[in-house]
Structure 1
Amino acid sequence: MPNTSYPASYYAASATPTPERPPLASSVETDVCIIGAGYTGLSTGLFLAEQGFRVVVLEAARVGFGASGRNGGQIVNSYSRDIDSVERSVSANDAQLIGAMAFEGARIIRERVSRYHIDCDLKDGGVFAAFNDKQMRHLEAQRSLWNRYGYDQLELLDATGIRNVVASERYTGGMLDHGGGHIHPLNLALGEAAALESLGGTIYEQSPAIRIERSATPCVHTAAGRVTAKFVVVAGNAYLGDLVPELAAKSMPCGTQVIATEPLDDALAASLLPQDYCVEDCNYLLDYFRLSADKRLIYGGGVVYGARDPSDIEAIIRPKMLKTFPQLAAVKTEFAWTGNFLLTLSRLPQVGRIGDNIYYSQGCSGHGVTYTHLAGKVIAEALRGQAERFDAFAHLPHYPFPGGQRFSAPLSALGALYYSLRDKIGF
């Protein structure tokens, strides 16, 4: 059986040492079988185990192998498309429910870190950085929108304010989310996996699901075993493949790239981000950056539609970093990696049921750290018979990408180019 290891990222190199878990090699029975040991699957499993459910998780590679262990590590509230997009898509009642949940994922992360003593370098504070007056007006509207849903942790930053938190001349202003923050994403996943196991859950690594037998008691098959369960939760996101064809038809894996510098000296690190906040800009194809616990600058951005791996990640991302921080010209890049996230046409998550006993959540569209933790809670509620919040997400409409699987990537890239040009000219 092939053994898939973590990609050569900074996170894998600095992760908490964790023994490999054995693959599934027999037939087992459980209450809930979860496909995927990323944030969605781990959050779902942990909430269910806390309620006394027997939980088995099947992971094709290692815990946190996908986006959960490779992302920018930023705790960003709301969704990839904000609550105003939700309001235009569903009923007023559903919009109210989804809007009220927009800030819950960050609270869940902090609660998990505290309750289970997860060492993942949690830091508070996240900044949205604006390049122009148009983007500042958008941030002002965003603050009003979030205030309307009871969130009061946002602080607008003028030109002086943004320079007090980011040592770059690129930005005209911004907004600080005191409820945002950043973490070591792989260590968060590993800590949540350990928490799930402490409650009796079982995780099998190197155990890709190859078939779901749909019946009154669904059965998930791997190459060397099978899991029979009362419920199945599909949480593979961009790494699900064609296991569930109806889900693949309305989503598209996309790649994003990240680099990490060598450790910076304390004075240089403090000069770049004096309050140690994470930052993302306000462009359609945005860049994001933060400091790691050992004072590396982690800088990411760019999207590759269709999830092809670029041949030279550093050549794509390092110029972006130096445009933001030219003072890092002499600093070496020590890590460069890519990872896939799952994009939906609406850029809102896809949630639902297949039959009566197969549940799924996917398509965070690059905004998944907080949403996936919320999704786990909402799915667990639904399996306990409290489905109002789950159903609100399930009512979000979703459509196939224009051009089908063959042309979806190039057409999406053309659309992204249009918005990128608008960002550049400030239109």
Structure 2
Amino acid sequence: MEHVQSYYAATANPHDRWPRLADDILCDVCIIGGGFTGLSSALYLTEAGYDVVVLEAARVGFGASGRNGGQVVNSYSRDIDVIERRYGKESARLLGSMMFEGAAAIRDRIDRYAISCDYRPGGVFAALNSRQFSHLKQQHQRWQHYGNHQLELLDELGIRRKIASERYVGGLLDRSGGHLHPLNLALGEAEAIRRHGGRIYEESEATAVTYGTPHRVRTAQGSVLAKYVIFAGNAYLAPQLEPRLASKSLPCSSQIVVTEPLSRDKALALLPDNYCVEDRNYLLDYYRLTADNRLLYGGGVSYGAREPGNIHELIRPRLLKTFPQLEGIKFDYAWSGNFLLTLSRMPQIGRLENGVYYMQGDSGHGVTWTHLAGKLVCEALQGEPKRFDAFARLPHLPFPGGRRLRTPLTALGAAWYALRDRLGV
């Protein structure tokens, strides 16, 4: 199964295919999933000296890791004030101390392994009304408290200097965020894993897992015996492989378009400092420039991972509402991809059996969170589980309505928040 026809696949760095698993093999750690969660875990573990095997059902970066908006956004899908309110001050302290590590890990990987992925620093959170701007002022204070001093509040005039749009009343610039080509980052991390002796098998879907000493993971043509197993498939993990994971999460899709190339002057007229942007709506829009001066614009959510009929028609009105000066612009690429949503909007990590770990449900913040998650599971395997357990202790709640009703009920709730966005309340 090849990568979806996207801008990222069309501009991917040259890379060799990885083999299919066709034997019965042994290793220390078997990771199921070749996206950022699995790759980050594998890279940390191979650096630490573990013998690691990664099983990918399709191609490295096939899922959300190779299809997302390419934004390096700090924190989690719920910010630290919500975490403190729900889970207490100690959980907020522990999770707050880690919420900028994912972005730092990405920059370290890019520098250490010379990964060519068009990284550009700086991201803007854009407020569409005074209520959202008030929340950004509070976020500014919270993030400074937890050590991020690369922030700048933007008033209405300030954000006009960063974004050529009249939609916004203010914003928050985070210079420690940024944007990149996510598929090329994934491919570069896979090559780094190879350099450390890790083994990756593509088109090698895990079909069954038998827990024991050791655990056995089967594929169509082979198997892996391992002391440790890590489930890292997220929205693309087959539900029947481990039903306990599927019951507490919901696959959702988001849509992205990429325009025809713009002149450099026209591109920088839209985003003069080449920052990426996401607005503060519940169903948010996100956008950035690519390295070849196109506008990449994403937004919208389809619950239950349904493929929308016409992505162009869904995204064009949103794009033109932000940039009416692009009336008539052509789209060269359009695609959809799935991410995994949790009821709490917090990532889910934990243990299923002795030596069996899982990490899933990034809820839209997967680029940075996955790079922290790989570090945490490596620490846990090395006998230092405190930070892993800070997340593992969070309750993992099932969606109301069970498997049949969870999608329409979630969509109904999202419609309520979308109405609030439109009303500015």
- TM-score normalized with structure 2 length: 0.99
- 1:299 matched to 2:297? The reply is yes
Pick from 186, 189, 201: which aligns with 2:186? 189
Pick from 55, 59, 63: which aligns with 1:66? 63
1:33-70 deviations in Å (ceiling 9; x for gaps): 00001001000000000010000000000000000000
Aligned equivalent of 1:34 = 31
Aligned equivalent of 1:347 = 345
- 1:316 matched to 2:314? The reply is yes
| 1:91 CA drift (Å) | 4.5
Partner of 1:89, secondary structure, is: helix
- 1:106 matched to 2:119? The reply is no
Q: 1:3-402 to 2 correspondence within 5 Å? A: 4-242=1-239, 243-402=241-400
Residue type matched to 1:239 in 2? Y
| 1:153 CA drift (Å) | 1.6
Give me the whole-angstrom Cα distance separating, in 1, the residues matched to 2:79 and 2:238: 28
Partner of 1:316, secondary structure, is: helix
Partner of 1:121, secondary structure, is: coil
Residue type matched to 2:233 in 1? G
Give me the whole-angstrom Cα distance separating, in 2, the residues matched to 1:198 and 1:328: 45
Residue type matched to 1:278 in 2? C
Partner of 2:415, secondary structure, is: helix
Aligned equivalent of 2:415 = 417
Give me the whole-angstrom Cα distance separating, in 2, the residues matched to 1:20 and 1:329: 40
- Unpaired runs of at least 5, structure 2: none
Partner of 2:339, secondary structure, is: strand
Between Structure 1 and Structure 2, how many residues are aligned? 424
Give me the whole-angstrom Cα distance separating, in 2, the residues matched to 1:89 and 1:320: 33
1:114-139 deviations in Å (ceiling 9; x for gaps): 00000000000000000111000000
1:218-260 deviations in Å (ceiling 9; x for gaps): 1100011000001001000000121110010000000000000
Overall identity of the aligned pairs, in %: 60
Superposition CA RMSD, Å: 0.8
Give me the whole-angstrom Cα distance separating, in 1, the residues matched to 2:409 and 2:262: 40
Give me the whole-angstrom Cα distance separating, in 2, the residues matched to 1:426 and 1:241: 39
| 1:98 CA drift (Å) | 0.9
1:246-275 deviations in Å (ceiling 9; x for gaps): 010000000000000011011110100000
| 1:148 CA drift (Å) | 1.9
Give me the whole-angstrom Cα distance separating, in 2, the residues matched to 1:84 and 1:27: 48
- TM-score normalized with structure 1 length: 0.98
